[in-house]
Amino acid sequence: MLLINTKFTIGNVYIYGEYICYYIFMVVICFISQFAKKDGNIAAGRHSVINFVNWLRVFLI
């Protein structure tokens, strides 16, 4: 699968890179939510996720 993706054009590689970044972003959100539940402070965990999403939007845009 990785070899097939490396043979695509620059545009397709860029889209594939965005997919990888989105997957990593979802894993980070799941990790933060699990850590917040383990810590027993779900509200603060969600607040930190919202701040992280806003920071990521500013960084990417």
pLDDT for 1: 45
* Structural domains of the chain, count: 1
Concatenated DSSP letters of 1-60 = -HHHHHTS-HHHHHHHHHHHHHHHHHHHHHHHHHHHHHHT-HHHHHHHHHHHHHHHHHHH
In the chain, the N- to C-terminal Cα span, in Å, equals 30
The 10s digit of each residue's pLDDT in 5-59 is 555 566 666 667 777 778 888 888 777 777 666 655 555 556 667 777 777 777 6
Q: By residue range, what is the domain housing residue 7?
A: 2-60
For the entire predicted model, the pTM comes to: 0.38
